[in-house]
Amino acid sequence: MSSKINLFDLTLDSLTSLITGWGFEPYRARQVWRWLYQHHASDFSVMANLPQNLRESLDAETTPGALKVVSSVQSFDGETRKLALELADGQIIETVLMRYEGVRRTACVSTQAGCAMGCVFCATGQMGFARHLSPGEIVEQAMHVSRLLAQEQQRLSNIVLMGMGEPFHNYDNTLEAIRRMMDEEGLNIGQRHLTVSTVGIAPAIRRFADEQLQVRLAISLHAATNEARSALLPINRRYPLNDLMDAVRYYIRTTNRRVTFEWALIAGKNDTPEEAHRLGQLLQGLLCHVNMIPLNPTQAYQGQPSDMARVSAFVNILEDYNIPATVRVRRGIDVNAGCGQLKAALIASQ
């Protein structure tokens, strides 16, 4: 494991302290920052406006990134690419690039190696928790995607923190990474083009509301009763629906922002008309939107995705409650694009 400093783990202030400590002018730190974030530099030799002795010091003491691509697979339609990235300690995480019509190019990044939440249908939840990612490890995933797009004369437009892990379980590092992503001289992603997805840690939702950011919030719901939700998402036993919905209402009151609820449609489990009515009653009157997507199957969970007839009937019932819902196309099934699936496949092949 390298003892060098990963530059993506430094704030601009800490990078400035490092460089001035070597005897260089403070403005040199901003030059390095721009090379990293705006010019996608992965080698100090290309940083042409830096003096040679600074480049030598950087090369000796730091590294412009610590994540190594161990697998890169693209879907047959060319719209989804999934990366398996190895951390400095050998842990593997996943990052996904999703291309949409027009100019929207989205990176789905991880915030933890593994996950402690134990959601039964999620490949990451099935493998358990290893550790939190640092802010730099979170940001560097987006940089990998940004470099890929730059090679095609395209730009990263959106980031979703929906990959491996629970962002609010790693709250401080996640928020630092978000602020780095928003930095106008960094990745320069607009706040409304960033989304954080949580399984529903109620106190963290309230804390996030108080940050007064315009970052989007998505909540993995998947069931509208405590019994059914606890069976799918164990976190519901600690923060049951009443607590979760109170936190959601606080978030909406505080930010005046719409909340997105994620709903993985599982055949015969949560795609029935009865469950649609329960969901409608739970969310009626809230400033919200429901994202529905047929389940991405995993080896350790027997559930199957709903067929489109049941999906359409479910959406029609929500419309009766004036709850907007969008049915999302499953992305990257042929490249194991569901959270944790590529890592699980890599482990199984070893």
Catalytic residue among 86, 94, 152, 176: 94
Specify whether 339 is catalytic: yes
DSSP 116-147: SS--TT-HHHHH-EEEEPPHHHHHHHHHHHHH
Structure tokens at 181: 């992503």
φ, ψ of residue 88 to 5 degrees: the values are -60, -25
- Please name the residues in contact with 91: beta carbons below 8 A apart, sequence gap of 6 or more: 113, 130, 131
Cβ neighbours, 10 Å, residue 52: 8
List Cα–Cα distances, 58 to 8, 138, 150, 335, in angstroms: 13, 22, 24, 37
Q: Which residue has the tokens 């994620």?
A: 262
| C-alpha span between 308 and 346 (Å, rounded) | 31
| C-alpha span between 55 and 41 (Å, rounded) | 13
Catalytic residue among 108, 122, 288, 339: 339
Q: Are 196 and 178 in contact (CB under 8 A)?
A: yes
| C-alpha span between 231 and 211 (Å, rounded) | 32
| C-alpha span between 297 and 338 (Å, rounded) | 8
Residues designated catalytic: 94, 339
